[in-house]
Amino acid sequence: MSGFFKSSIGRKVAMALSAFFLMFFLIIHLAVNITSVFSEDVFNELSHFMGTNPAVQFALQPVLIFGVVFHFVMGFVLELKNRKALGVSYAKNNGAANSTWMSRNMIYSGLVILAFLVLHFIDFWIPEINVKYIKGDMSGMHGGEYRYFHEIVAKFESPTRVVAYVVSFILLALHLLHGFTSAFQSMGSTAGRKKALQKFGKIYSFIIPLGFIIVAVYHHFNHH
Amino acid sequence: MSGKGMNLTLKIWRQKDAQSKGKMQTYKVNDISEHMSFLEMMDVLNEQLIAEGDEPVAFDHDCREGICGMCSLYINGEAHGPDRGVTTCQLHMRMFNDGDTIYIEPFRAAAFPVIKDLVVDRSAFERIQQAGGYISVNTSGNTQDANAIPISKHAADEAMDAATCIGCGACVATCKNSSAMLFVGAKVSQYALLPQGQIEAADRVKNMVAQMDLEGFGNCTNTGACEIECPKGISLDNIARMNRELIKASVK
């Protein structure tokens, strides 16, 4: 079995498995975030639960971080191996004649998402770790009320941050548009090539980034 | 087109031998009939070059009826040129217009080194086939009649579709990763779908994929370009089947 994951196909399967996990995570993340548009209280409660529940913090969070790191490290490894497999570049190459822009540029949409994750960690994750595990304040409170909603509103005050987030989410949509169906193919399933799943993949790739864009833009224009 | 043929500018990769560095060179051909095949146009160019005392352009060709898999060429940025479902020998000059500039390059991949001009060494495909692309039949004298083994129409059709792969290498040439997975997927599938192929199925897929990796082909990223450029229309489903076969063989 260890030989399997060293083979070209094994690496594709590993890439697809981590992709499925991350695509599932995106649904959870958006489900929590979108509540901030409808209810400050619900968002605060959910954020506090996610931020303090030991199972989420010490079991799911490490798995998630491993999944993210694995996906992009493997992405780089595959990209480097693929570049090594190429011969002399063509003087004229008409890639658009037989494939989509998204499928040919996963490494670039991926790099933008990675850059976004760095920004996102600096914005939210590092301050959270600082408050909870360095300062040791697990109350989730600030000035007598939950801090989570106020933090998200404060972050999206900056128009540059909102623009950076929106651009990243557009690239995420392009990444998902190819990645969703591609993952099925790598797992050995032709389901990703069937109409129904292609339609579902398109809807997913559109709805998830759009949801995150709505959250960022909504709080930018609705800060109290 | 009435009467007069096309005048074309050709930009062709010239390379003396495997060791030399090559470069693109420009040639002119005149009065090319739209009814010619692309290789006949190349023949006209070579006759012209020979008459002028120049070295003719080396390119692979054999049957010239789209079945042997010898002809290659990356024409105007596409394997076997702009037409669909054809090899270069079946590509007609009517796909081009008078005054066009046509880029003609060898199939590119680290695993397909150029031997001379437009001729590349595709023996990596042979070695992948030798690693498992066969069935062992006991020929002791009491061999079972193949027709006595029932095979569903659906499986027979899919196996036949996979078996139409002529091993030309267009999939590798067109792939942004120089992946050979459409070729190997087809070769694995044509046996995986039939009862005769079951006995050696696990070893076959393992050995063929291992040889494919050893030859230095890239990893499939499912762009689907190979399926579109394949002169035989080999389906991407064959890559999914190969992945499935390898997963199955590895968990055993």
What is the predicted pLDDT for the residue at B207?
97
Q: What is the DSSP letter of B57?
A: P
Q: Cα(A195)–Cα(A201) distance, rounded to whole angstroms?
A: 10
Is the pLDDT reported for residue B224 higher than 80?
Answer: yes
The answer to whether residue B240 neighbours chain A at the CB level (below 8 Å) is: yes
Q: Where does the pLDDT of residue B1 fall: very low under 50, low under 70, confident under 90, or very high at 90 and above?
A: very low
What is the predicted pLDDT for the residue at A223?
67
If we measure between CA atoms, which residue out of A176, A131, A169 comes closest to residue A150?
A131
Handedness of CA A14, A15, A19, A22 (dihedral sign): positive
Does B198 lie in the same domain as B130? yes
**Mean pLDDT computed over every residue of chain B:** 95
C-alpha distance across the termini of chain B, in Å? 62
What is the predicted pLDDT for the residue at A66?
97
Domain A2-85+102-221, architecture per CATH: Up-down Bundle (1.20)
ipTM: 0.92
Q: For position B171, which CATH number holds?
A: 1.10.1060.10
> What percent of chain A has a predicted confidence (pLDDT) above 70?
98
CB neighbour burial string for B66-77, b if at least 16 within 10 angstroms, e if fewer: bebbbbbbbbbb
Best of A4, A5, A9 to substitute, by most chain B Cβ atoms within 10 angstroms, is A9
Q: Do B209 and A8 touch (CB under 8 A)?
A: yes
For chain B, positions 17-76, list CB contacts with chain A under 8 A: 22, 24, 74, 76
What average pLDDT does the segment B194-207 reach?
95
- List pLDDT tens digits, range B40-92: 999 999 999 999 999 999 999 999 999 999 999 999 999 999 999 999 999 99
Is the pLDDT reported for residue A133 higher than 90?
Answer: yes
Best of B26, B101, B203, B223 to substitute, by most chain A Cβ atoms within 10 angstroms, is B223
Q: Do A87 and B112 touch (CB under 8 A)?
A: yes
Is the pLDDT reported for residue B171 higher than 60?
Answer: yes
What is the predicted pLDDT for the residue at B188?
98
Cβ atoms of residues B190 and B199 within 8 Å: no
- Tokens 């996990």: give the residue: A21
What is the predicted pLDDT for the residue at A2?
66
Taking each helix axis from N to C end, the angle separating B237-251 and A8-38, rounded to the nearest 10 degrees, works out to: 100
Q: Where does the pLDDT of residue B165 fall: very low under 50, low under 70, confident under 90, or very high at 90 and above?
A: very high
Does B85 lie in the same domain as B109? yes
Q: Cα(A77)–Cα(A81) distance, rounded to whole angstroms?
A: 6
The answer to whether residue B96 neighbours chain A at the CB level (below 8 Å) is: no
Lowest mean pLDDT among A3-12, A20-29, A33-42, B83-92: A3-12
| B1 belongs to a structural domain | no
Of A82, A92, A187, the CB nearest to B77: A92
> What percent of chain B has a predicted confidence (pLDDT) above 90?
92
CB under 8 Å to A150, separation ≥6 — which residues?
A142
- List pLDDT tens digits, range A150-179: 999 999 999 999 999 999 999 999 999 999
What is the predicted pLDDT for the residue at B143?
78
Is the pLDDT reported for residue A148 higher than 50?
Answer: yes
What average pLDDT does the segment A67-96 reach?
96
Is the pLDDT reported for residue A67 higher than 90?
Answer: yes
Does B126 lie in the same domain as B110? no
Q: Cα(A67)–Cα(A119) distance, rounded to whole angstroms?
A: 18
Question: Using a CB-CB distance cutoff of 8 angstroms, which residues of chain A are in contact with residue B113?
Answer: 87
CB under 8 Å to A213, separation ≥6 — which residues?
A165, A166, A169, A170
Of B76, B213, B240, the CB nearest to A94: B76
What is the predicted pLDDT for the residue at B51?
98
| B165 belongs to a structural domain | yes
Does B32 lie in the same domain as B108? yes
What average pLDDT does the segment B144-150 reach?
85
Q: How many folded domains does chain B comprise?
A: 2
- Could you state, in order of their start, the residue ranges of all structural domains in chain A? 2-85+102-221
Handedness of CA A71, A72, A74, A75 (dihedral sign): positive
Q: Do B110 and A181 touch (CB under 8 A)?
A: no
C-alpha distance across the termini of chain A, in Å? 56
Of A11, A90, A185, the CB nearest to B222: A185
Q: How far is A170 from chain B (nearest CA, A)?
A: 20
| B23 belongs to a structural domain | yes
Pairing of strands B101-105, B6-14: parallel
H or E, element range at A209? helix A195-221
| B185 belongs to a structural domain | yes
Q: Do A92 and B244 touch (CB under 8 A)?
A: no
Of B77, B114, B228, the CB nearest to A93: B77
- Could you list the residue range(s) of the whole structural domain that residue B177 is in? 122-139+147-251
Does B55 lie in the same domain as B107? yes
Does B133 lie in the same domain as B247? yes
Q: Cα(A63)–Cα(B1) distance, rounded to whole angstroms?
A: 66
